[in-house]
Structure 1
Amino acid sequence: MTTRASAATRWMIGIGLAGLLLVAYFLLPILSPFVVGFIIAYLFSPLVTRLDRHGISRTWGTSLIFLVGALLLLVGLIALIPVLIEQTARLVRVFPQLLDIVQQRVIPWVNQTVGVELHVGQLRDLLVKHGEAIGKMLADGLSNVSATGAAVFVAVMNLLLIPVIAFYLLRDWPRVVERVEEMLPRHRVVTVVELARESDRMLGNFLRGQLAVMIANGVTYSIGLTLIGLNTGVAIGLFAGLVSFVPYLGTITGVALALIAMYIQADSLWPLLLVLGVFGLGQVLETVAWQPRLVGNEIGMHPVAVIFAVMAGGQLFGFFGILLALPVSAVLIVLGKHALESYQQSRYYRADNEPALPPGDDRAGD
């Protein structure tokens, strides 16, 4: 009778979790501010806890962090926005010049070298045709938005909700954790808390370290590109640094944009070597200095596994899937290690007369 009750309870828990996941899937459009607010609260909770230990309550500590963050953001915006607007405008003007170079230099060279007849008029007509189609789509989208106003309202509300949600979660973080722990099955609470602590250690160090690496990359690329004379160096450098939360994407897009902008500006191939040198130096600094010092080897995933995780996250959940692919992978690695240790202690892994190995014993994998 007890076994049947236990099985029924497990089925109820499983159905409940599946129902929660289904509800979360349908509520994805409005979950964005809650996800972002949760991430902000998670990242800064250790700092608020330290302030609490020094006699500053969580309410005042949270308020202090938000005040300092708002001041830093305001100073950064005042200092960077004029530069970014100017350099972004220059960068946008680069692409028509690039089209002229393709028409005047690249196409004649291809015609002469490869022997393939490329007609400039056809290429121009094709670009104009697709440009008009894209422009019509954008115009239709803007007209729909302006007609209903719902999308703009939702976007503004989401933006305003993020700091509110983050503030309350950050202030009440220990209470939230305590409530979650109270809902755990008592016979599993020790194991679950141990896994949560290990996941928290890995995930927290990774997220805070990765944020620092993004900032360090952006500053490095911006300074380097500016020093070699690229007049859009700050815009491209900051963009490459901020996009580097997706592995390899920041470097690829940064190199491509910087090479195009430098070639248009200098009208020569030699300065392109300086661009490659800046990004090469940035990659060396990231590998030798930023990653080991700021992140360490928290996840330890193979590069192929990293690429697969990012692509799978994007395919399944879009932008947030890309953003959360590596953090989720970090938690899955912790759970996977625990599952592997449990399997290696089970009778399915060992021979019946072989004693169980202590967790973490290397002989279990021999």
Structure 2
Amino acid sequence: MDKKKQFLLDTAYYGTIAVMIFLAVKFLFPIFLPFALAGLIAYVIHRISRRFGEKIPIKRKYFMLLAVTIFYAVILGLILWAGKLLLPSVVDCIARLPKFYQSDIVPWMERLAVKIEQMMLQVGGVDGDQINGIMEQTMKKINQAADSLSVQLLKKVPGCLACIPDYIIRITIMVISTYFIAVDYDKILGFIKKILPEKGWDLCCKVKKYGLHMLWAYLKSYSFLMFLTFGELFAGLWLLHIPCAGWIALGIAGFDILPIVGTGGILLPWAGIAGFMGDYSLAVGLLILYGVITIVRNILEPRIVGKQIGLHPLAALIAMFAGVSLAGIPGLILFPVLLMVVIQVEKET
């Protein structure tokens, strides 16, 4: 009986914590995200200023203001440089899409229809006119779906444009908060330490220690693996004469961050469809490309990620899915890190 009571108490306790975390993430995370990012940036700048601030003969307050200004100037410069570099490629790919649809997609769909028709005739029991009618209806529905998708995308454009002022406000708040936090970093830290109990402060120190370590390890490891995967994909797709190879490689490399699924979630179905359509050279090329990426990743990932992250792929996948569902793209990165921090803190207590 005591065990049942303890089980119910534990279930209620952890269930309450889970509900509180869910509500906090759902409603408070979007509000406090600019301030959290500002605090993280201010922390990094504060750490750097400890090394170089004493060597520069200006007041610490002005040095922090200068450091924050330089940081955001560099970020803005990188964004403008990347936009200038990528914009021509984006425009070129968009301009080539209609031609690509007519020269590749339409013939591919026609060949697929012929293949399906041949298979149905071989099975027997189906009249040729019936097959033609079915295929015409299928093609008609596909075209209607494509038109509907275009209309839906166009409808989303005003909504996306309406979100721009909100993002501008959030970014502005983040930048201003970074200045305030960076200048009064020691005062803010001292105030937090003063109002928290000793155990609460120790817990915050542990969370900060493991959180920053895990976040850096996570970003560093997967950024390297993603960049390596992108290079392999771009080289392979370019050799296979795939149009817009760079953008396709970038999309697949971004998809590769998901554990268990990886590049195989795109390359293997692609190879299967290519083989079904009779394009055996493309199918074999995609399979070879997938094999190379898998071998390289299996060799490097345990060394690069395993020792630093130490999280089971299924647990990482659940954390990523929950993060994306509750907090969007930031949650994709922060939730696995949060889960790893909880595990590490739990091990020490």
| TM-score with structure 1 setting the length | 0.66
Measure the CA separation in 2 of the matches of 1:260 and 1:66: 46
Shift of the 95–257 alpha-carbon distance from structure 1 to 2, 3 Å rule, reads farther
SS for the counterpart of 2:286 is: helix
Q: 1:80 aligns to what? A: 86
> Quick one: structure 1 residues 290 and 86, their matched pair in 2 at CA, closer, same or farther if it must change by over 3 Å?
farther
Q: Distance in 1 between matches of 2:106 and 2:33?
A: 36
Corresponding residue of 2:8: none
Q: Which residue of 2 aligns with 1:273?
A: 284
Q: Identify the structure with bigger relative contact order (alpha carbons < 8 Å, sequence gap 6+).
A: 2
Between the aligned residues of both structures, percent identity stands at: 18
Q: CA deviation at 1:116?
A: 8.4
Q: Which residue is equivalent to 2:68?
A: 62
Question: 1:332 and 2:342 equivalent?
Answer: yes
Alignment of 1:211 onto 2:211: no
Partner deviation per Cα, 1:299-333 (whole Å, 9 max, x = no partner): 21222322333334445555554443311221121
Q: Distance in 1 between matches of 2:92 and 2:343?
A: 44
Distance in 2 between residues matched to 1:188 and 1:31, nearest whole Å? 20
Cα distance in structure 1, aligned partners of 2:229 and 2:26:
34
- State whether residues 211 and 337 of structure 2, in contact with CA within 8 Å, keep that contact through their aligned partners in structure 1: no
CA distance, structure 1, for counterparts of residue 264 and residue 195 of structure 2: 45
Aligned pairs for 1:255-266 (under 5 A) are: 255=267, 259=271
Determine if contact 2:259/2:314 at 8 Å carries over to the other structure. Answer: no
| One-letter amino acid of the structure 2 residue matched with residue 278 of structure 1 | L
Structure 1: segments with no counterpart, 5+ residues: 1-14, 340-366
CA-based RMSD of the aligned residues comes to 4.3
Q: Which of 216, 222, 227 in structure 1 is aligned with 2:234?
A: 222
1:193–1:31 CA distance, 2 compared to 1 (3 A): closer
Alignment size in residue pairs = 315
Q: Take 1:188 and 1:322, find their aligned partners in 2: how far apart are those partners?
A: 27
In structure 2, the residue matched to 1:286 is: 297
C-alpha contact 1:215 1:242 (8 A) present in aligned 2: no
Q: Say if 1:101 and 1:51 are closer, same or farther in 2 by CA, change over 3 A.
A: farther
Do residues 71 (structure 1) and 77 (structure 2) align? yes
Task: Tell me the equivalent position of 1:355.
Answer: none
CA deviation vs aligned residue, 1:26-72 (integer Å, no higher than 9, x gap) = 3566556556x35xx63784476235412364433333333333333
Which residue identity is paired with 2:281?
W
Give 1:96 shift: 4.2
Please tell me whether residue 108 in structure 1 is matched to residue 140 in structure 2. Answer: no
CA distance, structure 1, for counterparts of residue 256 and residue 80 of structure 2: 23
Distance 1:174 1:224 in 2: 51
The residue type equivalent to 2:65 in the other structure is T
Quick one: structure 1 residues 47 and 90, their matched pair in 2 at CA, closer, same or farther if it must change by over 3 Å?
Answer: farther
Which residue in the other structure is 1:7 paired with?
Answer: none
Report the 3-state secondary structure (helix = DSSP H, G, I; strand = E; otherwise coil) of the residue aligned with 1:298: helix
Query: 1:190-240 deviations in whole A, cap 9, x for unaligned?
Result: 454245323332333223333343333323322332244333211111222
- CA displacement, residues 119-170 of structure 1 (integer Å, 9 cap, x when unaligned): 2122123324444554554455556x49xx7545324544555555566656
- C-alpha deviation, 1:252, in angstroms: 4.0
Residues 136 and 58 of structure 1: is their aligned pair in 2 closer, same or farther, counting only changes over 3 Å? Answer: same
- 79-88 vs 174-183, greater mean Cα deviation: 174-183
SS of alignment partner, residue 308 of structure 2:
coil
Taking a change above 3 Å as real, the CA distance of residues 81 and 222 of structure 1, as seen in their structure-2 partners, is farther
- Return the offset for 1:185: 0.6
Counting helix residues as a fraction of each chain, which structure ranks higher?
Answer: 2
Comparing 156-165 with 204-213, greater Cα deviation is found at: 156-165
Q: Secondary structure at 1:247's aligned position in 2? A: coil
Letter in 2 for 1:204: W
Matched, 1:196 2:208: yes
* Gap change, CA 1:277 and 1:142, over 3 Å in 2: same
Once residues 32 and 124 of structure 2 are traced to their aligned partners in structure 1, the CA distance between those partners, rounded to angstroms, is 55
User: Is 1:33–1:162's contact at 8 Å kept on the other side of the alignment?
Assistant: yes
Separation (CA, whole Å) in 1 of partners of 2:187 and 2:230: 36
Tell me, in whole angstroms, the C-alpha distance in 2 between the residues paired with 1:120 and 1:162. 55
Tell me, yes or no, if structure 1 residue 302 matches structure 2 residue 315.
Answer: no
- Provide closer, same or farther for how the CA distance between residues 252 and 62 of structure 1 changes in structure 2, counting only shifts above 3 A: farther
Evaluate the alpha carbon distance shift between residue 185 and residue 217 of structure 1 in structure 2; reply closer, same or farther with a 3 A threshold: same
